[in-house]
Amino acid sequence: MRYSRQREALIELLKSTTSHPDAEWLYLNLKKEYPNISLGTVYRNLRMLAENGEILELPADGTSHFDGDVSEHYHFYCSACGRIFDLPRGSVKAPEIEDCGFEVLGFELMFRGTCAECKNNQ
């Protein structure tokens, strides 16, 4: 993959937030520094970065959200407010899959429900 200043800015922006933004949010924020950037360029770079394992693509609420943290961790999607939260890997008991003879190379796990803030506001 050739170096691109816009792609580097996209990665930096994504790694600077824990909000798990969608492509449009990233586009609007990048446009401030790169007024000529197109939404298509943002989508192309997000796909390329996700395919190369440099970012995570998280499907939720019918759209893709993105995470600059590629370490192994879980996610929680709040169906009330639409936010996605990071959950540390040790916060959830995972089955001992390797004890069953499988070799685990990675995982993706998204919990869905209502976050504490939305639950308290009901």
- Taking the model in full, what pTM does it have? 0.84
Taking each helix axis as running N to C, give the angle between helix 5-15 and helix 23-33, from 0 to 180 degrees, rounded to the nearest 10: 120
- pLDDT, tens digit (0-9, with 9 covering 90-100), for 4-52: 899 999 999 999 999 999 999 999 999 999 999 999 999 999 999 999 9
pLDDT at 55 over 80: yes
- The pLDDT score that the predictor gives to residue 83 is 94
Q: Which residue has the higher pLDDT, 1 or 113?
A: 113
- The pLDDT score that the predictor gives to residue 94 is 59
Inter-residue contact 9 to 34 (CB < 8 Å): yes
Query: Cα(58)–Cα(38) distance, rounded to whole angstroms?
Result: 22
